[in-house]
Structure 1
Amino acid sequence: MKTRTLPACSPKSSNLRSYSIIGDLEVTIEVTGNPYGLPLDVMFNMAARMNKKRGFLFVSKVLGKHIPVPPQVSLLSGAALGLLLQQALNRPIPFPVETLTNAFGDAEASRFLYDEVKKQRMSMDEPTLFIGFAETATALAHSMFDVFSDQAVFLHTTREDIVSETSCINFEEEHSHATAHRCYASDPSLFHRAQRIVLVDDEMTTGRTTLNIISDIHRKYGRKDYMVASLLDWRSDEDMAKFGAMETELGIRIQCLSLLSGRIRVEGSPIEETPQPGGTINPGDVTAPVEPEIHEMNLASFAVQPCAEGAFPYLKHTGRFGMTSEDSLKLQEEVRQAASALRSLRKGSRLLCMGTGEFMYIPMRIAAELGGEVWYQSTTRSPIHPYAADHYAVQSAYAYPSPEHDGVMNYMYNIEAGQYDELMLFMEREMSAESMAGLRRVLASLGISRIYIINCGVKRLAAPEPIGSYPSDDVTFLLKDLSSIDLERPTENRERAIQAGVHYSEMLPMEFQPTAEYLRIFHETLHASGMKVAKDAGTVAELIAARRGEKIVLVSLARAGTPIGVLIKRYLKQTYGWDIPHYSISILRGKGMDENALLYIHQNHPGAQVQFVDGWTGKGAITRELKNACERMNLRYGVELSPDLAVLADPGHCSATFGTREDYLIPSACLNSTVSGLVSRTVLRDDLIGPSDFHGAKYYKEWQDHDVSNLFVDTIAGHFLGVTEAAKAEAEKRLKAEAAMPWNEMVDGDSAVTWQGMEDIIRIQQQYVMDNINRIKPGVGETTRVLLRRVPWKILVDRLDNPELKSILQLAKERHVPVEVYPEMTYACCGLIQGMGGGAE
């Protein structure tokens, strides 16, 4: 493209510039307003547009759409409009305008300044609604809105046709290739509350789009005060007169603000076909110079708009449905979590982050948090002629079918082979593999070696069918009901399969009906230890309340953790009046935690902290599995979870949140499903559990006559009033000790996680020459499981007269299992599983 200054022809000749675009197409501009003294070359370049209504395009160098920019530069362009608005309202601004505008051309300065802008948000003098125009100005308007701290609301128009929503305003963008705009405000009253409406676009050429939306807003809501903010304003005198005429006709006020304003004169004709050299590249046209790695990742960091189960949701805080300054703070935390997850993926130095269509602002914010050499741009519906000539704005173009909209083409511009090491492409919603095929082919042809497709709106999971014998207020099992399937295997057959390498979750142990003698021990234990269990459950609940507060979700590990989770929930309700959600989900040694269950919880309780709960610890295998699962959720979905596992008893010293470290008989450990809501152990098998399913379990309704699940929790909860004072005192004592000593120094404190039980396990493995440490199950709870579900070899006990071992000794007697005294261990007992000739466990 040739750029020349026109000969002197008026006193304003220094403000005249002419751009020869392609062929005879030429645009001459006369700058009449430049309040911040911005160089034109910093703001835009020119290109030929594939549009008979308007054959040219001002290609912004700050918007982050067609040309890659440091993300902070684009965010600061919206901030600059915010300063312009504040000055127009005769209100103070937090820093000199020059500081901001100088950063437009300085990537390093823009990064520093944007951090400062976020700390110094400005107040708005009256309720103000910001409306950004899709698709190009969604991020510009959002970043303008985001520099204000209160009385500000944001909404952007959309080209999306969302059948479940009703558009509150409709208007046309007459010169556009996609003319219809809609607005889906979740709270339409925001129009009635707004005393001022600020309309934001990247460019005004005629202003007809602005007049169209003002007309519809006035007709429906009768607002009187409008301000129009844009980067560029090229309206003619005739166009401006139309604004004045509408002001008079409707009795309203319209004030226009822009970083650059002036007049344009167009000569020549729109380009019908792209001349060579150039040409839009379609999928399959080229062979990639490098074979890229393409990874797909589902981020679950973001709250989603309510939608039907199984649907692909839109994000809640994009502005498409309206958002407040308070919502901005929520979005800031969501962005932080997402960036934390994505930062760990980076391996190269040059990263391109790419938004898609209207979905610009959130990817831009994430890009600004990633650090290093990061560039940002977005895909677009706008068709532009690429032309390989110096100074022409669009050097290369890639076309592909839109994944979201049938029959619509999308484009990427100005990406050259070898320009970037990595690309992160952000999709607002997860799309089907078929609809993504064209986009994937384009990505593979870009010459970028590592590509991540980031889905920010994860498919909404359906609620589970209720199972279990607990009241629904006590717990929701996030488990697929497999009751109709024969999964039980005889004990010895199951043991041989496990030791031969079959995972224990692929089959179930046989459920047994306890003998009268064994039930007698259960009831005696419940009577004798009820107060102790209540006090320990209360202590755990008090620790959770002090460390986490009310905004939590209890997530118990099915099934031993389920009754303990019910007790903690009831204690918090009785003591504090908190009605805490409680779910029970599956975790499996060697296979991890049910990620769909965690996503379901995150989707239904955004922003809440998860507190994991189990019954007791043994070797700490599940504690380690939980830690790995939390790290995986952060890496795969951007969901930050604390691996803190609250347990009633922690004899292995594996947890910092526990009721006691004493290894004693918890009555709920005595029985199988009949004390755990009639729910089996959890199942994970490929032929039974699909990609959108929760892990499975069986619901033994036929055992209802033998069910003591509610008897157990009702009995323990009945003691809460009598133990509350002691539970509070114990929790307070531990919390004071923690406060007095940093966590990284608490190696000897009462709450220290020392894993000292593992020393006993290793010694036992050596003394009894056992090939697999997983055949050693320490503690009363785990030893009970060995006797109920596995093929026991022998039972080790610390002493035969230990009152906590009555049920263990009774079960060993009934099953003819030898018992040996082994006093040198942390635990009261330990179950050893019979070797079956296989090396696996």
Structure 2
Amino acid sequence: MNNAVNSRVPDTIWSGTWVAERLGVELVGDEGLTDLLGLALRRNPKRAHLLVSHVLGKHVPQSPTVVYSHGFTLGRRVRELLAEEAATAVVLGYAETATGLGHSVADGLGLAPYLHSTRRPVAGVAPAGGFEESHSHATSHLLLPEDAGLLAGDGPLVLVDDEFSTGNTVLNTIRDLHERYPRRRYVVVALVDMRSEADAGRLEEFAREIDARVDLVAAASGNVRLPEGVLEKGQALVAEFETAHPGARGSTECAATAARAPSTPTGPQPTFNRVDLHWPHGLPDGGRHGFTPAHRARLEAALPEMTARLAEAIPADAHRIHILGFEELMYAPLRLARELEQVAGGAEVTYSTTTRSPVLAVDDPGYAIRSRIAFPAHDTPADGPGDRYAYNIAGAGFDVVVAVVDSTADTPELHAPDGLLAQLAETAPHILLAVVPSYVPSYVPERPSMLPEPLRGPAFSSYAPDEVGWLLQDLSDVTLEAPTEEREEAIQSGGAHYAESLPVEYQPSEQYQQLFHTALDASAARLAQAVGAVTEIVLEERSPRPVLVSLARAGTPVGVLMRRWAQFRHGLDLPHYAVSIVRGRGIDANALRWLAAHHDPADVVFVDGWTGKGAITRELADAVKEFEAAGGATGFDPEIAVLADPGSCVKTYGTREDFLIPSACLNSTVSGLISRTVLRADLVGPDDFHGAKFYRELAGADVSVDFLDAVSATFPEVVDSVEQQVKELMSGDREPTWEGWAAVERISEEYGIHDVNLVKPGVGETTRVLLRRVPWKILAKAGAGTDLDHVRLLAEQRGVPVEEVAELPYTCVGLIHPKYTRGATGADGKAVAV
């Protein structure tokens, strides 16, 4: 055992001897059990003794590697037990003592999401469950996951506590959660299984009662033999000892905690240095609201730099360094301590945390709690003001103590003359303070949405289910296609809206398909650079945890690529949805309602592939205003994020160059086999999502995932260029000039069209004209190169003239004549405009 509490304590003395001799308490069980546990006395009317773990990192300073490895090893044992089921497991830890242990178990288990209970209510966050811990000093546990679905799966639930004694806490938890989210299997994990013979069979009986399997994994087992009347004897012993030794109530004679008045930030302030860790934006400080594998990857990537910043602040001559966590904030300081231990050279690094539990301190080698610091609560406790404690710090001979708290706890009480920092300053010559930002879900829905859940692949679209959720209804069984000429005549005559039908899906020739693949090979890195740039700007300026909402369908592959970039560079697992927006009809209001019911509207970032003249940009802004005016949720930002903004219509973009985005070359076969969206009164009711079709029959020609993979494969090679591009963009003027709109108006008048809706600027929009509409002519910028190879081929196939123009703000522009008449043909038999 690494006994860093007090150098005067020989390793051969068990730290439970003092209690055992006075109360007759016996600890029996596995060999080495006394190496894991000591004994102390509580000031608690429910239980006299306290099992004090030497490897938990709560009351006893310990090597962080020892602390972490015990939890991680238990996680490995659980993974072996669950086998294939481990991939679907969720880990739940108990506040406050086992929050770090549970997190370490989740690490050992692998890619398991983690949640711990909390005793800190969070304003606006509705509990997803709760339970009582009958023997604890503070009983009420809350479950406050940001994603309620975290507990709703049917995979195994792994419950982690430091000790398994009566089993009441676990039974209360399982009973509460099983009523809400029934599942087939539970695993209980503890450092020590200390159940009595009477309690040993309760877990099995309960498992039969709920018809589920319940396993138990523990590092050691045994039990505590308590003589009759031990509770009363223990309380009397505590009272007697505190009367004879008033300093046992705190770190100093004057720290009479029961009589302490509320502290105020007046008088001399303790001396300490603050360390800015540069904690990653949006990374949860722990598992209070859930901690996903993506969060874990971000933390792992950031730990070396954060530890280096901490190491720089520690005096070079420090030999004994202690990291002191804060109540439920156990895992973050544990990982910092463990990382510091790896780079600390010959210095000794230990770790423990503060606690709410009042325990008698006795400076005796045979007692587990040698010293106690008492200080006022400095967070926002549910049970009101009171005292908090740090054990075995005073008298331990530390050169440096690093207090790690979350920002909610960085209050005047922390800095008060009798606060924690002042108390620590009496125990060590150097005190450092590191503050981790408190993570609070920015939005919690007021009510569950009555709308259906998003459609996902492979049932709807060829994308993987985690790549995108479609806020659409499936109209695959409805015949919606009409010949292009008929659709154009109906649209221009006012007889129908373009969203009421679908064009017949263009089936590309072998020559055109080859052009697509050639264009993809040539532009993948260029496209990846734009993806990286726009994603980085979104993360920096819009939200550290954005909800990507693509405008179906052209925006969908872009949203998937942005999501992949966020995973690749930051370990983020961003939610991504696709919604319908229709020119002249607005965005799907029911999709906005669903988003507002599941996410903070302020985190929603609308995504599209490119801008033309900016019609959709204006459409979205108007639709959001109309939605809010009708009583919908507020907070949606209508600013679209796009890869390319040649029309200068937005300020969140990857580039303003008008270049070929290969996904514009094709229709559904590069967009997950999904049609463009449909809005027709007989198919879409007032409470329905807009519709779309899934063209399963085109699977043989599908290149949707090939497109994504080709671009994603170039991410590593464009990292540096993305960084440079982002610097240039963010330091420049990105305000929209709307020069594209002005150019379209000029072209509309110059060519006698007099309708900006029939002028489609940019490579992407021109391609759409050739694939879906009846084009009149194509304007191509003089000197345009391979970006227009596919446009020239399509124009040739459809008999559409291409006119080179010297002064053109876009690479090309597609024109639709306003006087199209069905049936008119040219000399080659092709339909023309008259």
For normalisation by structure 2, the TM-score amounts to 0.49
